[in-house]
Amino acid sequence: MGEQQRVEIIKLLYRDVELLILDEPTAMLTQQETEYFFEVLRKLRADGHSVIIITHRIPEIMNITDRVTVLRDGCNVVTAKTSEITEQELSQYMIGRQLHSIQREPIVSDAGNEGLVLEDVSLKENGRERLDLPSLRIASGEIVCVAGVDGNGQKELVEVILGIRKQSSGTIKLDGVDMSSLSVLKRKKLGIGYISDDRQQDGLVMDMNLTDNILLKTHTDKRFIKRGLINDRLVWEDTQKAVEEYAIKTPDLKTPLRYLSGGNQQKLILAREMAGDPKAIVAHQPTRGLDIGATEFVQQQLLQRRAKGCCILLISADLEEVLLLSDRIAVIYKGRFMGVFPNTKDLNLSHMGLMMAGRTPDVREESL
Amino acid sequence: MKRYGNFLSFLGIAVLTLAISILLILMVGSNVNQAFVSFISGIFGSVYSVSEVLVKATPLILTGLGVAVGARSGFINIGAEGQLYMGAIAVTCIAFWLHDLPAIVMIPMVMLGGFVFGGVWSVIPGFLKARFGISEVITTLMFNYIAIGIVGVLVRTVLKDPSSSLPMSAFLPDSATLPVLMSTIRLHAGLLIALIFVVLIWLLVWKTPFGYEMRAVGLNPRACKCSGISVYKNILRSSMISGGLAGIAGVCEVSGLHHKLLEGISPGYGYIAIIVALLGKNHPVGVVIAALGIAALQVGSLGMQRITGVPTSISSIILGVVVLLILARKSIFRRLLTDE
């Protein structure tokens, strides 16, 4: 993905454009790639080119821009010189109110259910080892975060838990029930909510409307079926409730998902996956590509679920989010856990960084 | 603008089609006015001509419905023709094998047999697609030739009528023939069967959990996999139903119209079915309208040929033009359809 993005950008630069318009150009780039890319943009600016960059990442705005304008719901909220505006003001303009500071309460209780348990799960595909994990138990009311560089087995891990891929060995239990050999649908009915990292491909049918996308999980639900036929009115009521509860902005329920913003698409997935009080939630990059208002909403929803005793597995590439939400952190590298430790104030971030790069801190000390 | 734009673009297609038809009629040297009058009277001129439209529409509705059901789940069925022939084989075999059964048992039996034969002929390509990713466009098309070949073999060997020198079967027993709706015309109960299936398929696709799964699989198989909807099962099911409907079309043609199996029972209904599904936007009601329209076009052009000598081939040309124009509608009439 990052590679494709860079080719696109280079293609544009190669044509020697006067005005460059970039819509979320860094979404797929890593930190280093972004820095390098910004260097190129600065050179372009020095050469007298104009660049319009559309982004929701505030640090990038402060880093690269000269002037900034904020759009909200299609209206121009403010235009200012970047040097004359603070990050805080900018975020207020973007979401139209002050950010709530997210606070984590201590774990309520472990009594809700027996939790999500992975026992020696491994996955081999085409002769390559994708996952080889030690046992891990996510307690009721706990958020365990899997941190790591993208593509180190995160997708494989969530898909094995959901049953989309079949593990080569090991068992997966939810609340004491062994679900290693159950189908995806049965696992979901046992009480797993799944938020995928690729909502357009994995989570939604973009050409279907809101009610039909809610049905993706509930179309076999007895509540909605009368004499073998799906009762449209009941489904409509259910969707309407979700739209109100999660404040999804849409012209009506018959609008194809394609025409909703990313944040509203994600809210619909949350509404669907969190319906019926799941025992566990597997959230893979739930805030990727969302603006700060929607990001905050998603994070608060996860914390609310945690308070209700849900076990949550969160996978995130955003270190800030990891530190903000998780009770424990597992660092993943090449399909293995480099370490699992509680998220405390005296967490050694540089150790974590080393683990994410595949080196155990002890080894480093020895080599020094 | 956009609301009227849609309407205007279809009006544009109608005008263009009309202009091309006039041009074609002039090219063959006929009187345009007379040609159109004979075309219209060829359709609405008598009870017989109207009934002929319905006779032709019956297999088009059933096969078109089949293609549409397949398309909903992403199964592009080019093989309705072959599946229709398989249905025709089924009805003939069952009728001669169980010739003592009364009609009340026989008719449901041959319908079921036709559905199963046509369905199997389509579920094999469906399986190859779902399991191995082999393109169903190629396999269903190839299966057409096999099915037509099998009919050719059967009417010359085991099913051949010994009292005739022509390659065709004997007449079916009376219990296996569909009743004619009016004594002087060829219109048979197959039309009613087709309309019953239109309602059933509409209910199935739009109102049942299974139909929902099929539509979702057609739009985004990956999301279905992630939500626990089996893509494999749904392609098998929808290809089965798709071919089954074409098989029933074959049953209706044999037991309603010809009353025997012969080569060339279908003048390409299975291929026109693809156009029917396309023009009907894969919706049951749309399929009925498209099937009636195409049948009327064909019957009307027959009348035109009888009276003014304009060849019926013109109807195929016009059909091709209409399909092209509808496919290209959004590009040709872009100005009308955008918001400015």
Q: What value does the mean pLDDT take over residues A80-103?
A: 76
* Chain B residues touching chain A at CB-CB below 8 Å: 203, 207-209, 212-213, 215-216, 219-220, 222-229
pLDDT of residue B221: 93
Domain membership of residue A25 (yes or no) is yes
Domain membership of residue A102 (yes or no) is no
Domain membership of residue A101 (yes or no) is no
Provide the pairing of β-strand A336-342 with A169-174.
Answer: unpaired
pLDDT of residue B118: 96
For residues A250 and A293, membership in a common domain is answered with yes
pLDDT band at residue B86 using 50, 70 and 90 as cut-offs: very high
Question: Where exactly does CATH 1.10.3470 map onto chain B?
Answer: 47-308
Q: What value does the mean pLDDT take over residues A251-262?
A: 90
**Is the minimum CB–CB distance between A194 and chain B shorter than 8 Å?**
yes
Provide the pairing of β-strand A143-147 with A328-333.
Answer: parallel
CA distance B338 to chain A (A): 16
Share of chain B above pLDDT 90, in %: 64
| Chain B residues close to A205, C-beta within 8 Å | 216, 219-220, 223-224
CB burial of A94-113 (b: ≥16 within 10 Å; e: otherwise) equals bbeeeeeeeeeeeeeeeebb
Residue from A181, A190, A205, A215 to probe the interface with B (highest B Cβ count within 10 Å) = A205
Query: Using an 8 Å Cβ cutoff, are A115 and A175 in contact?
Result: yes
Q: What value does the mean pLDDT take over residues B225-253?
A: 94
Strand partners, A23: A54
Q: Give the closest of B207, B208, B227 to A216, CB-based.
A: B227
Query: Using an 8 Å Cβ cutoff, are A314 and A158 in contact?
Result: no
| Domain termination site, one of A95, A126, A147 | A95
CA distance B67 to B271: 10
For residues A206 and A69, membership in a common domain is answered with no
CA distance A214 to chain B (A): 11
For residues A79 and A147, membership in a common domain is answered with no
Contacts for A247 with CB less than 8 Å, ≥ 6 apart: A267
pLDDT band at residue B58 using 50, 70 and 90 as cut-offs: very high
Domain membership of residue A15 (yes or no) is yes
pLDDT digits (tens, 9 = 90+) for A272-317: 998 888 899 999 999 887 888 888 889 989 998 888 888 999 998 7
pLDDT of residue A367: 39
pLDDT of residue A362: 58
pLDDT of residue A365: 43
* pLDDT at position B114 over 80: yes
Q: What value does the mean pLDDT take over residues B293-313?
A: 89
Q: Which residue of B has its CA nearest to A193?
A: B227
- Whether the CA torsion A6, A11, A17, A23 is positive or negative: it is negative
ipTM of the complex: 0.81
Share of chain A above pLDDT 70, in %: 91
| Domain termination site, one of A63, A95, A127 | A95
pLDDT band at residue A368 using 50, 70 and 90 as cut-offs: very low
Q: Which residue has the higher pLDDT, A111 or B154?
A: B154
Q: Give the closest of A162, A208, A225 to B216, CB-based.
A: A208
pLDDT band at residue B72 using 50, 70 and 90 as cut-offs: very high
Q: What value does the mean pLDDT take over residues B21-41?
A: 89
pLDDT digits (tens, 9 = 90+) for A306-354: 888 889 999 987 777 888 888 899 988 888 888 888 888 777 777 777 7
In the block, which residue shows the tokens 């909703």?
A: A260
Q: What DSSP line would sit under A87-125, residue for residue?
A: HHHHHHHHHSSPPPPP-PPPP--S-S---EEEEEEEEEE
In chain A, the number of structural domains is 2
pLDDT of residue B53: 94
pLDDT of residue A1: 53
For residues A165 and A303, membership in a common domain is answered with yes
Q: What DSSP line would sit under A36-56, residue for residue?
A: HHHHHHHHHHHTT-EEEEE-S
| Diameter of chain B measured on Cα atoms | 71
Query: Using an 8 Å Cβ cutoff, are B14 and B327 in contact?
Result: no
| Chain B residues close to A223, C-beta within 8 Å | none
pLDDT of residue A236: 92
CB contact under 8 A, A219 and B209: yes
CB burial of B274-295 (b: ≥16 within 10 Å; e: otherwise) equals bbbbbbbebbbebbbbbbbbbb
First and final CA of chain B: distance in angstroms? 7
Let me know the angle formed at the C-alpha of A229 by A225 and A233, rounded to the nearest 5 degrees.
65
CA distance B243 to B67: 8
* Average pLDDT of the residues of chain B: 91
For residues A135 and A277, membership in a common domain is answered with yes
Q: Quick one: which of B270, B319, B299, B263 has its CA closest to B82?
A: B270
Long-range CB contact pairs, B131-139, < 8 A, 24+: B131/B232, B136/B75, B136/B76, B136/B77, B136/B78, B136/B239, B137/B76, B137/B78, B139/B79
CA distance B94 to A100: 74
Q: What value does the mean pLDDT take over residues B185-210?
A: 93
pLDDT of residue A103: 63
Domain membership of residue A239 (yes or no) is yes
Q: How far is residue A171 CA from its own chain's centroid? A: 25
| Chain A residues close to B222, C-beta within 8 Å | 201-202
First and final CA of chain A: distance in angstroms? 36
Say which amino acid occupies B159: L
Query: Using an 8 Å Cβ cutoff, are B224 and A180 in contact?
Result: no
Its domain, for residue A125, covers 116-367
Q: What are the two backbone dihedrals, phi and then psi, of residue A277, each rounded to the nearest 5 degrees?
A: 45, 70
> What number of other Cβ atoms are within 10 A of residue B203's Cβ?
14
* pLDDT at position A364 over 60: no
Q: What DSSP line would sit under B100-120, residue for residue?
A: TS-HHHHHHHHHHHHHHHHHH
pLDDT of residue A366: 40
Strand partners, A314: A145, A283
> What number of other Cβ atoms are within 10 A of residue A310's Cβ?
25
pLDDT digits (tens, 9 = 90+) for B44-53: 988 999 999 9
Query: Using an 8 Å Cβ cutoff, are B86 and B270 in contact?
Result: no
Query: Using an 8 Å Cβ cutoff, are A130 and A335 in contact?
Result: yes
CA distance A205 to A145: 28
CA distance A357 to A365: 15
Q: Does the domain made of B47-308 have the CATH classification 1.10.1060? A: no
* pLDDT at position B151 over 90: yes
Query: Using an 8 Å Cβ cutoff, are B63 and B270 in contact?
Result: yes
Domain membership of residue A273 (yes or no) is yes
Share of chain A above pLDDT 90, in %: 21
For residues A275 and A340, membership in a common domain is answered with yes
| Domain termination site, one of A33, A66, A95 | A95
Q: Which residue has the higher pLDDT, A9 or B144?
A: B144
C-alpha distances in Å from residue A131, one per residue of A145, A335, A354: 17, 4, 20
CB contact under 8 A, A225 and B216: no
Query: Using an 8 Å Cβ cutoff, are A38 and A46 in contact?
Result: no
Q: How many beta-carbon pairs under 8 angstroms link A with B?
A: 63
CATH at residue A218: 3.40.50.300
pLDDT of residue B294: 93
For B120-228, where are the E strands, in sequence order?
none
pLDDT of residue A363: 45
pLDDT digits (tens, 9 = 90+) for A92-137: 787 776 656 566 666 665 566 788 889 888 898 888 888 888 888 8
Domain membership of residue A110 (yes or no) is no
| Chain B residues close to A217, C-beta within 8 Å | 227
Q: Which residue has the higher pLDDT, B279 or A75?
A: B279
pTM of this structure: 0.81
Q: Which residue has the higher pLDDT, A158 or A24?
A: A158
Say which amino acid occupies A100: H
Token pair, residue A151, equals 């593509």
Domain membership of residue A109 (yes or no) is no
